[in-house]
Amino acid sequence: MITEFDFIKKYLSSREKNSKYSLNFNDDVGLVDGKIYSTDTVCEDIHFFSNDSPNLIAKKLIRVNVSDIVSKGVRPKYCLFNFSIGKNIDEKWISNFMRGFRADINFYKLNLIGGDTVKTLDKTVLSLTIFGNLINDKFVRRSSAKNNDYIYVSGTIGDSALGLHCKTNTRVNILKRHKEFLLNRYLKPIPRIDLFNFINKNASASTDISDGLYSDLNNICRASNLGADIDFNAIPLSNSARKIISVYPKLKKLILNGGDDYELLFTGKDGLDRNENITKIGKMKKGYNINIIDFDDITNLDGYKHKF
């Protein structure tokens, strides 16, 4: 059994001859003729549940893809949509899905230019390929962090994973408003399209937080051949996250290894946290390890990985 990252390293990276386009598979995007390309797939019973709102599934599909492009300091502009329709999907489901899909296509000013539809024998699988034009011939890679760069995140971290925990553990005993906030962060992520220009102008390296803060920081570290020190107590948390962790302290680890936040994680010079949406959480360093200050249990921090 291998992970998705093992697959890329063994079967793609070592054989790829067009690294100027693939960026050596060190990133979530490719570069062709002044455009950044990215693609993401969401699968029934893995990324969404069969009883989730079709409207929200559509929005999540679009938003996780928008987040990939935004994290490069680029505004997404075009997309291709592949719809593999599962055995339990009817026209009512499709109609509700497409209502949410069209709403977000319009909201994020995307141009749908094609795709494909097929019928599967079992689960529903949804894929979106998204691309946008470079700004002043520039985008921000994972691999360009520098020693002594500061590490920043946008928004609050861990909400989505805590929301998923609430969804799958009905006995969670916190106030309804906290539970609803966390569930909404899981079901309907908000990509930081408001920050793509900020990232383009200020970040030395950047990614979005999809697999978990620790895992995605590790991706920047590996690609940049550096290590990092981060302060757990500096990581910004929502009031709802603080509340559930105070009741269930073991959930604290989800702040580090829970995914699907789709906030931005980036490096740069000192002072970028003067923006009210940005928090400084650490600093890049020489070496290859990630040190977490004020957090003792460092086992199993590396986030979710697909295995084959």
pLDDT for 22 equals 81
- Write down the pLDDT at residue 296: 78
Chain segment 179-190, per-residue pLDDT in tens? 999 999 999 999
Task: For 48-97, write each residue's pLDDT tens digit.
Answer: 998 999 999 999 999 999 999 999 999 999 999 999 999 999 999 999 99
Q: Residue 5 — very low, low, confident or very high, per pLDDT cuts 50/70/90? A: confident
- Is the confidence at residue 297, as pLDDT, over 80? no
Longest dimension (CA), the chain: 55
pLDDT of residue 41: 95
Could you give the 3-state DSSP secondary structure of residue 222?
Answer: helix
Check whether 156 has a pLDDT greater than 60.
Answer: yes
> Does domain 17-133 correspond to CATH entry 3.30.1330.10?
yes
Number of Cβ within 10 Å of residue 248's Cβ equals: 16
Q: Binning pLDDT at 50, 70 and 90, where does residue 170 land?
A: confident
Tens digits of per-residue pLDDT, 247-287? 999 999 999 999 999 999 999 999 999 988 999 999 999 99
Q: Are 224 and 144 in contact (CB under 8 A)?
A: yes
Give 43's pLDDT tier (boundaries 50, 70, 90).
Answer: very high
Q: Which of 201, 68, 207, 57 is CA-nearest to residue 123?
A: 57
Query: Strand order in 150-154's β-sheet?
Result: 205-208, 264-268, 150-154, 278-285, 227-231, 290-293
CA distance 212 to 204: 20
Cβ(95)–Cβ(52) below 8 Å:
no
Domain boundaries, the chain: 17-133, 150-293
List strands edge to edge, sheet with 125-133: 30-32, 35-43, 125-133, 78-85, 111-119
Per the confidence metrics, is the pTM higher than 0.75?
Answer: yes
Note the CATH architecture for domain 150-293.
Alpha-Beta Complex (3.90)
Q: Does pLDDT of 15 surpass 80?
A: no
